[in-house]
Amino acid sequence: MPLPPYRIKVVEPIPFLGPEERAAALHAAGYNPFNLRADQITVDLLSDSGTGATSAAQEAAAALGDESYAGARSWFRFRDELAELTGYPHLLPVHQGRAGERILFGALLRPGQICVSNTHFDTTHANVELAGAEPRDLPCPEALDLDSPDPFKGNIDLTALAELLSGPEGGRVGLVLMTITNNGLGAQPVSMANLEAAHALCREHGVPFFLDAARFAENAWLVREREPGYHDWTPRAIARQAFDLADGCVISLKKDGLSNIGGCLGLRDDDLYARCEANLIATEGFSTYGGLSGRDLERLAVGLREVVEPAYLAARAAATARLAQLINDAGVDTVQPAGIHALYLNAGRLLPHLTPAEFPGHSLGCRLFLDGGIRCAELGSLYLGTMDERHRLVTPAPFELVRLAIPRRVYGQEHLDHVAETLAAIAKDPERVSGYRIVSTPPMLRHFKVRLEPIRP
Ligand SMILES: *Cc1c(COP(=O)(O)O)cnc(C)c1O
């Protein structure tokens, strides 16, 4: 087992509530973990976004942050680091990934156009629609078999992409956006071969080819481990190869930027850059800070170097794989093969006594909190299903999953063992997990603010 290449210098206490306190907290939260207070949670696996720990080197750099309104030293440090990593001639900072999506799609997509992806992330999907365009997902067929050990289930379906581009709708395709790794579909990586082939199809049809590269380093690591011909490459060189194939990228730096906030746009086209920059200045901030402080830019400049260190990526990948093994050994299936930033539990299979309308993924998530103080996110019918006006499920999601997202450099092996042990105890008597029904839903983005109640209290 590779050792994490760091030790701990600063710690933060985590709370331990008793079972009755947790039950009361969940009741008060309307049985929605998004409404829990963070100080009620022992191990928080809700998201890997902005939740990582920074290094002493990042905090030392932050102390030198230059907060000048324009042309700050920190901007040049950030820009130079990002330019060396990605090779893009034009770079724009944004406060987080979705701001970059909004600016890019507003400048690049026209109403009625189609944006094609291996899978759009949820905010990406929403921002394509806000630009008046249609998001279309073309995941590879292996992605829909949760148990398939195929190494690159994040790939786009090249046959479907070729058919779309040369078919009657081909002229409407305004952008092909590859999400690396495929966060919306099991944290699965995209192979370099798939990126190269998708790039060639886009060239042939004159369609812009972009990366949604929130996990560029983790994708590079999985390419190194799984794709023939890359084992001697550095993660940095593999990431660069991916950036080289694309006309540009949008990155949420809250993931592989190893920072609590930040994002960026990388572009080659001068005219597209000019339009994005104008929008950025109007809505995010001047183009040398984009809504970030000089201190954030400094942390990012260092984080972008630390994240591609092989020893860091090896230890992180091994920690996730070990947790997957413990969970699988306890009789709980996860989407195969394990990725790096998250594990996806197959709650539908663990809890066959619950129908999709009783939200098995949500039920398992609530049980993990009640039994172990663990918070995670449902990715099943509560999030993706369609409901009638009385909140009853009409069309279930294809799978009932729960995502355990692993914050970077935050939890030790004991914390992850606690998650596996809590799940193992649930798996011994799964019928104890009862279902939920919806009490009220907000008008949009249901999963964030929905309130529920247990069917059998
Ligand atoms: C997190 C994420 C985004 C959005 O970024 P934010 O920083 O949360 O706004 C977009 N795409 C992918 C793949 C992501 O994981």
pLDDT per residue rounded down to tens, the chain (457 residues):
899 999 999 999 999 999 999 999 999 999 999 999 999 999 999 999 999 999 999 999 999 999 999 999 999 999 999 999 999 999 999 999 999 999 999 999 999 999 999 999 988 999 999 999 999 999 999 999 999 999 999 999 999 999 999 999 999 999 999 999 998 888 999 999 999 999 999 999 999 999 999 999 999 999 999 999 999 999 999 999 999 999 999 999 999 999 999 999 999 999 999 999 999 999 999 999 999 999 999 999 999 999 999 999 999 999 999 999 999 999 999 999 999 999 999 999 999 999 999 999 999 999 999 999 999 999 999 998 988 888 889 999 999 999 999 999 999 999 999 999 999 999 999 999 999 999 988 876 778 889 999 997 6
Note whether residue 115 is domain-resident. Answer: yes
Answer yes or no: do 37 and 159 share one domain. Answer: no
Ligand 1 atom nearest the C-alpha of 263 is 7
Alpha carbons within 13 A on the beta-carbon side of 401: 22
Give this prediction's pTM.
0.96
Q: Is 183 in the pocket of ligand 1 (CB under 6 A)?
A: yes
Note whether residue 12 is domain-resident. Answer: no
The C-alpha angle with vertex 122 and arms to 392 and 180, in degrees rounded to 5, equals 140
Answer yes or no: do 333 and 242 share one domain. Answer: no
139 φ, ψ (degrees, to nearest 5): -65, 155
Which residues are marked as active site?
69, 121-122, 212, 214, 255, 447
Ligand 1 atom nearest the C-alpha of 49 is 1
Q: Name the pairing type of β-strands 43-44 and 451-454.
A: unpaired
Note whether residue 350 is domain-resident. Answer: yes
| CA 125/CA 120 separation, integer angstroms | 5
pLDDT at 175: 98
Q: How many CB atoms lie within 10 A of CB 70?
A: 10
- Domain with residue 28: its CATH number is 3.90.1150.10
From ligand 1's centre to the CA of 338, what distance in Å? Answer: 20
Nearest partner of 239 among 292, 175, 313, 290, judged by Cα: 313
Of 306, 336, 365, the one marking the end of a domain is 306
Answer yes or no: do 142 and 201 share one domain. Answer: yes
pLDDT at 146: 96
Q: Is 111 exposed, middle or buried (0-12, 13-18, 19+ CB in 10 A)?
A: exposed
Answer yes or no: do 340 and 300 share one domain. Answer: no
The whole domain housing 135 covers 56-306
- Give per-residue burial for 156-170: e unless 16+ CB within 10 Å, then b: bbbebbbebbeeeee
Which residue among 105, 121, 130 has the greatest number of ligand 1 atoms within 8 angstroms of its CB, and so is best to mutate?
Answer: 121
Note whether residue 163 is domain-resident. Answer: yes
Which residue among 254, 260, 300 has the greatest number of ligand 1 atoms within 8 angstroms of its CB, and so is best to mutate?
Answer: 254
Ligand 1 atom nearest the C-alpha of 181 is 13
Q: How many CB atoms lie within 10 A of CB 318?
A: 15
**For helices 216-226 and 310-329, what crossing angle results, to 10°?**
80
What are the structure tokens assigned to 335, written together? 């989407």
State which H helix or E strand residue 120 sits in. none
Nearest partner of 261 among 217, 302, 296, judged by Cα: 296
**For helices 235-245 and 216-226, what crossing angle results, to 10°?**
110
Question: Under the phi-then-psi rule, with left for phi > 0, alpha for psi from -120 to 50, and beta for the rest, what region is 376?
Answer: beta
Q: Is 260 in the pocket of ligand 1 (CB under 6 A)?
A: no
- Is 436 in contact with 366 (CB distance < 8 Å)? yes
From ligand 1's centre to the CA of 137, what distance in Å? Answer: 16
